[in-house]
A and B are shown apart, each in its own frame.
Chain A
Amino acid sequence: DGGITQSPKYLFRKEGQNVTLSCEQNLNHDAMYWYRQDPGQGLRLIYYSQIVNDFQKGDIAEGYSVSREKKESFPLTVTSAQKNPTAFYLCASIDRGRNYGYTFGSGTRLTVV
């Protein structure tokens, strides 16, 4: 079955540590996105990529970095510069066909310890 796989489901980070969240899709979608979700707030866009080797900052890119070396993969690194990283992170890709819209992964919950 096609879909988006995010790993790990839970991640704990120490202060000052960089961590990388994985996102893999086998939907053959060109565009991929990273969102952050905090309690009581809507999803906020961190980064997106419309094509391999290209990505753009979203609304809250500071303290995050991404890469898009393969169409199927769009990993997100949460750096030590992100002062409040505890959140639920969602990866998504876009179907540009008739049902134009997002397909989401199951999310990664990151907690700073």
Chain B
Amino acid sequence: KNQVEQSPQSLIILEGKNCTLQCNYTVSPFSNLRWYKQDTGRGPVSLTIMTFSENTKSNGRYTATLDADTKQSSLHITASQLSDSASYICVVSAGGNQFYFGTGTSLTVIP
């Protein structure tokens, strides 16, 4: 069964600290994996997209990694800011119209 699981479900960190969010998937075949940031009451915005051959991709303070062998991805946030408070959603594409969503990690950054 094609599934995407994210952990932790929620996370609270102090401003300035680093954190890592996890995404494990069983989707096959694999086309790409995206991390989205969703602010409360807004639509998700793409942070990174990774294909099979990419191991690491950065977007500012966000760094995503992908291990296609173990079917795991992580999103590392460096020097967190209050504006990083949001839900982070992992979406895996199997190609065509097949997209599988994780339930997201809710991140709260406190001063």
Contact = CB atoms under 8 A, between A and B. Distances in A.
Contacts, number: 49
**Residues of A contacting B: mostly:** strand
A101 B42 contact: no
Interface residues of A, number: 23
Contacts of A102: 34, 36, 44, 46, 91, 99
Nearest to A99: B49
14 contacts: A31-B97, A41-B103, A42-B89, A42-B102, A48-B97, A90-B43, A90-B44, A92-B43, A94-B97, A99-B49, A100-B49, A101-B46, A104-B45, A109-B41
Contacts of B99: 102
A55 to B, nearest CB: 12
Interface string B80-111: 00000000010101000101011110000000
Interface of A: 4, 6, 31, 40-43, 48, 50, 88, 90, 92, 94, 99-107, 109
**Residues of B contacting A: mostly:** strand
4 closest pairs, A vs B, by CB? A104-B43, A42-B103, A42-B101, A106-B43
Contacts of B93: 100-101
B54 to A, nearest CB: 13
